[in-house]
Amino acid sequence: MALETELNRWINLEKVSLLALDQSVHGGKILTQIIRGFGIRNVRTFSKISDARDALRTGSFDLIIADPAATEGDEDGIELVRWLRRQDRNINRFAPVILVSGHSTPSMVRRSRDSGANFFVAKPLTATTLLERILWVARDKRPFVEVGEYLGPDRRFKEKGPPEGAAGRRTNDDTDQHPEEQQKGAA
């Protein structure tokens, strides 16, 4: 979705409660200013992972935006997401998570992908990019899947079912051909 073509569309984020984690105080301020500009009033911003974790234990959030590079001891923002997804009784366990990262090493990108976050966004942050991602996540209908160590949104963006000739691993696997594949087959 290109927001430039939808500038007159109405959105209402007033009732969204959001947790933000950014190790840089000023990075957190920039993020908070952008978010408040979108109309989100209930924003709690943290610079320490332990404080963010405490808030996730006790509060309820509709959206989490975290910097994967935030570190405290041996833990980082990615570990916080992994921890959250493994909390059986936590109300925020399935809350959408957008990871917002500055410089990223290949291993950070790989770990972020496997953490269970919904989306990975590169800094520097712009209001347009962040709002696009928030609205995208709000429309995201992918189920959460739990397989091996992974718990998070289904990483298959297109449900094409299992590979041809292979039995699906999931009870809800779409064993019918994807419409595009059907068209190719018919051609």
Partner 1 sequence: MTHIVRTHRVENRLAKAVSTSGGVTIGEALQRAKLGVEQVRDEVMVALDAKIAEIDTVTMPANFDGTAATMARVYMLANEVLNEAGAFDLSELSEAGRSLCELTANWRDGGIDVQPVRVHVIAMKSLRRPDIAGDSSLRTAVVEGLRAVTAKLSAQARVAAAPAR
Quick one: 141 or 158, whose CB is closer to partner 1? 141
Nearer to partner 1, 127 or 182 (CB): 127
Output the smallest distance, CB 53 to partner 1, in A.
20
- Tell me how far apart the alpha carbons of residues 70 and 80 are, in angstroms, rounded to a whole number: 10
Evaluate whether 57 touches 90 at the Cβ level (below 8 Å).
yes
CB-wise, 8 or 58, nearer to partner 1? 8
For residue 117, the minimal CB distance to partner 1 (Å) is: 14
Task: Determine the Cα–Cα distance for residues 72 and 52; give it in Å rounded to an integer.
Answer: 11
Q: What is the CA radius of gyration of the chain?
A: 18
Listed residue (77, 59, 60, 159) closest to 117, CA to CA: 77
State the residues that interact with partner 1 by CB under 8 A. Answer: 3, 6-17, 23-27, 29-30, 33-39, 62-63, 69, 94-96, 102-103, 105, 123-128, 130-131, 134-135, 137-141, 143-148, 154, 169-172
In angstroms, give the least distance from the CB of 39 to partner 1. Answer: 6
Q: Which residue has the tokens 């959105």?
A: 11
- Provide CB contacts within 8 A for 162, sequence distance 6+: 168, 169, 173, 175
Instruction: Give least dist CB 184 to partner 1, A.
Output: 27
Provide, rounded to whole angstroms, the least separation between the CB of residue 9 and partner 1.
5
The residue (of 52 and 63) whose beta carbon lies closer to partner 1 is 63
Instruction: Extract the tokens encoding 114.
Output: 């496997």
Q: Are 97 and 77 in contact (CB under 8 A)?
A: no
Nearer to partner 1, 69 or 80 (CB): 69
